[in-house]
Structure 1
Amino acid sequence: MNSTINKFGYPATLIREYDNWVVLLRPAQVTLGSLIVAAKSVETDFGDLPAEHFSELKIVTADISRVLGALINHAKLNWLMLMMVDPHVHFHLIPRYDGKRDYDGLSLPDTAWPGPPNLGDAVALSEEQISKLGRWLGAEFES
């Protein structure tokens, strides 16, 4: 895995692995269900990814929309491709909703709704929270 994937806690944060992509739990949750969707490549420019990454991304995005729709009941999904600090191709995926969502004692409001997400309001998860939340999300990918 590339250094960007490792920085976001792989393998502890791994929710789902595809041939060309990984879906990771974002260790700092902006809203409940915040993810990192990262290309398993050394490319640092989105346009430089091989074609198979793009065709598989359709499957990845559909799976994520289904899973987060079922578990988070989001109003929108914000796909942010920032890549300013972490160079490899990846998205910060932020589910957006009015109000808050709760899971296993964790309550996360969307503090910036309906404006752009406020990444500075992210809540850092403990290892136990990462494990529980990751298993919960991962189980829905398998169903």
Structure 2
Amino acid sequence: MQNDRNATFSKFGGPDTLIADYEHWCVLARPKQVTLGAMVLISNSDHEHFPDLPAAAFTELQAVTSDIEHALKSLVSPEKVNYLMLMMVDPHVHFHVLPRYSEPRAFSGETFPDAGWPGPPDLASGISGESAVLAVCDALKSVWPAR
């Protein structure tokens, strides 16, 4: 776990929304749950260009994405998982991780449709609010693989 974080980490609610921490990456619950289990996978570095990351970050990315998909399978049972690297507003290397599904998912008294299915995700849709995001964060932590 790193003590120094970039602004993208803070923008997405870190450390409150932190699900898992690795040497080169961290995973946070996305403040706007476009779909149930939406996360942000953020580089722990200040790099703004994907190819500038150290080789070890690319190696570790395989383990991190494996953990992400394992946790999502347990919580959401998505039909697909989209990894979107947009980096237009928040410049540090990060991915929006969106589980995708054709039928709405229910969680903690809320219904989470996938408004964009089967096309691109509808990033303007979704559920936000601190209590919903923290509940999703806690649920993902509870199914996160131990390393």
Q: Indicate the TM-score class for this superposition, using the shorter chain for normalisation.
A: over 0.9
**Which residue is 1:19 aligned to?**
23
The correspondence for 1:135, drawn from 124, 133, 138, is 138
RMSD: 1.0
Give the alignment's TM-score, normalised by structure 1.
0.96
Per-residue CA shift, 1:12-66, capped at 9, x if unaligned?
A: 1101111110100000011000000000001000000001100000000001111
CA distance in 2, matches of 1:18, 1:61: 12
The secondary structure found in structure 2 opposite 1:119 is coil
Structure 2, unmatched stretches of 5+, are none
Deviation of the 1:136 alpha carbon: 0.8
Q: Residue 7 of structure 1 corresponds to which residue in structure 2?
A: 11
**TM-score, normalization: structure 2?**
0.93
> Among residues 102, 116, 120, which one is paired with 1:116 in the alignment?
120
Query: Conserved in 1, the CA contact under 8 Å of 2:35 and 2:126?
Result: yes
1:48 is aligned to 52
Point out where structure 1 has 5 or more consecutive residues left out of the alignment: none
Q: Which residue of 2 aligns with 1:75?
A: 79
Q: How many residues align?
A: 142
